[in-house]
Amino acid sequence: MTQASWPLFEAKNRLSMVIDAACQGEAQLVTRHNQPVAVVLSIEEYMRLKALDYRAMPNFADQLLALPQDDALFARLELEPRPTGL
């Protein structure tokens, strides 16, 4: 995938060109003061990246199964009880 870079003011003035290029599979980098601030992608590329992100995220069952299963003791913090104020 190729990538073009657009200053923000030019990207705003030529938004349809930026979107057309993104739809052709070319990621469009938008800069402000020569610093990257945004990327315009085609919907297909966005959905592909979202699917990758979703697959990488552990589900709740995996999180529960990752908890320690033994009854081993663990170190407790020595804390001062707070005043009750009664």
Which range is least confidently modeled, 5-9, 28-32, 39-43, 47-51?
47-51
The pTM score is 0.60
56 vs 50: CA distance, rounded Å: 10
Q: Give the count of domains, the chain.
A: 1
What the block records as the tokens of 9 is: 């003011």
CATH of the domain at 41: 3.40.1620.10
Range of the domain at 35: 3-57
Ordered strands of the 3-7 beta sheet: 3-7, 27-32, 35-40
Average pLDDT over residues 42-52: 92
Residue 21 resides in a domain = yes
pLDDT of residue 2: 54
Place of tokens 């052709």: 24
20 vs 18: CA distance, rounded Å: 6
Average pLDDT over residues 32-59: 90
Residue 29 resides in a domain = yes
pLDDT of residue 3: 63
